Amino acid sequence: MPNIKLKKLTKKFISINEATKGEIIVAVNDVSLEIKKYSYNTLLGPSGCGKTTLLRMISGLEEPTSGKVFFGRKDITNMPTQERNIGFVFQSYSLFPHMDVWHNVSYGPMIRNNFSQKTKNYIHEVLKMVRLDDRANAYPNELSGGMQQRVAVARAIATKSPLMLLDEPLGALDARIGTALRYDLMKLIKEYKLTAIHVTHNQEEAMTISDNIIMMKRGKVVQSGSPKEIYDKPNSIFAAYFLGRCNFFRCEMVDKNHVRFQDAVIELPKNNSKKKVVLGVRSEKIHIDSAVRKENIKGTIEFVNFLGDKWQYIIRLFDGTEVNALKRTPSDLRSGDKVSINFFSDNIFIFDEPKDFEKEKAV
Ligand SMILES: Nc1ncnc2c1ncn2[C@@H]1O[C@H](COP(=O)(O)OP(=O)(O)O)[C@@H](O)[C@H]1O
Ligand SMILES: [Mg+2]
């Protein structure tokens, strides 16, 4: 399995929607990236940002308008799907309803006339890996959604394709089952030394499952890296907003390493030459102080929500900004309390002030 390279991949559609008929939709816009072999990658972004279209171009199900797809050095842009040797898993399990689990999973090898004992042993092994070896004779409608999706995963693995493309594979499952299946997927991909590209709009799913997250917005890749890299160093307001919880403060620069927000003067972790900036601070990095001081950022607690393992405080600042703070330990703070908030310089992200702040966050 070589690395996969995408070079300036673009896909345009012509809208057939009544309201926008004939307009050109740029579903994927000039995307270049590299997928390392044996890695688990997620395409993460809001609905409609082009994830499925990008995946379909890698699979050969969609022809790019321009750009190229490479497996290693080989240009496969025009290679038919069936020659690309890819395993697929979709949100809608797409099992054969009239075949039992065994026949669904062995379908790929069998249509290639591979009925050897070795293949049968392999199918058994794969069924065991997905914990369905005791359900080989069951039909899809006798299985739960989670089990059906494990059959679909086993079927994709049984094809022995080194590349696995998964489009929202956990999207149809309820949260607890979907979470359990995440770990099955991770284990299988590593165990069989596969390369996975997994589409999701669920940030928590992307965080837990990925070696590498590719964040998309409106057809473009806005950032890619390990979950920790993106969480700790988001390169845009969108990336900070879409992965994890982040609060934003729109500030005026005072001098090259200080900004003003309300009456507070905040020291920046590094110099900046802009006139205005937006500071980003993760929710767990916000300190709430019940003593209200003039020189701090001030607001009122609107809600205190108990989340089981932590408490969430929604604070309305005097200029209307909403701040979301997370605390591991209980406090005496109640809704209606006047408070001030602060945070360490080291925990600040600095972003350029966008032309339209709300649009920047919006998907
Ligand atoms: N076959 C198609 N014809 C016209 N527009 C399409 C087609 N497929 C996707 N699109 C449009 O392309 C954009 C990206 O879609 P898609 O790749 O499905 O996004 P995602 O998977 O991130 O939700 C959307 O605006 C969608 O409406
Ligand atoms: Mg999609």
Same domain for 219 and 253, yes or no, is no
Question: Which of 12, 10, 3, 2 lies closest to 68, judged by CA?
Answer: 10
Domain boundary among 206, 237, 268: 237
> Rounded to an integer, what distance in angstroms lies between the CA atom of residue 99 and that of residue 206?
32
Domain boundary among 237, 265, 283: 237
Taking ligand 2, which is a single-atom ion, which protein residues have CB atoms under 5 Å away? 52
Pocket around ligand 1: residues whose beta carbon is below 6 Å from it?
13, 25, 27, 45, 47-53
Same domain for 32 and 133, yes or no, is yes
**Number of helices (H) and strands (E), helices first, in the chain?**
9, 20
Closest ligand 1 atom to residue 55 Cα is: 17
Closest ligand 1 atom to residue 16 Cα is: 4
Name the residue of 28, 51, 53 whose CB sits within 8 Å of the most ligand 1 atoms, as the mutation to test its pocket: 53
How many other C-beta atoms lie within 10 A of the C-beta of residue 204?
Answer: 13
Which pLDDT belongs to residue 362?
A: 66
* CATH number of the CATH domain containing 253: 2.40.50.140
* pTM for this model (two decimals): 0.92
Question: Phi/psi of residue 103, each to 5°?
Answer: -75, -35
Which pLDDT belongs to residue 361?
A: 74
Domain boundary among 237, 267, 302: 237
Which pLDDT belongs to residue 37?
A: 94
Taking a C-beta distance cutoff of 8 angstroms, is the pair 205, 182 a contact?
Answer: yes
- For residues 292-315, one letter each, b for 16 or more C-beta atoms within 10 angstroms of the residue's C-beta and e for the rest, the string is eeeebbbbebeebeeeeeebebbb
* CATH number of the CATH domain containing 140: 3.40.50.300
Same domain for 103 and 190, yes or no, is yes
Same domain for 230 and 271, yes or no, is no
CA distance readout (Å), 19 to 13, 15, 16:
15, 9, 9
Same domain for 149 and 197, yes or no, is yes
pLDDT means over runs of 10, the chain (363 residues): 92 90 94 96 96 97 97 94 92 93 92 83 93 95 94 93 95 90 92 96 95 97 97 96 94 94 92 91 96 91 95 95 94 94 95 86 67
Strand pairing partners for 71? 4, 74
Residues in the chain: 363
The count of structural domains within the chain is 2
User: Containing domain of residue 85, as a range?
Assistant: 4-237
Q: At what angle do helices 117-129 and 175-191 cross, to 10 degrees?
A: 140
> Rounded to an integer, what distance in angstroms lies between the CA atom of residue 248 and that of residue 356?
14
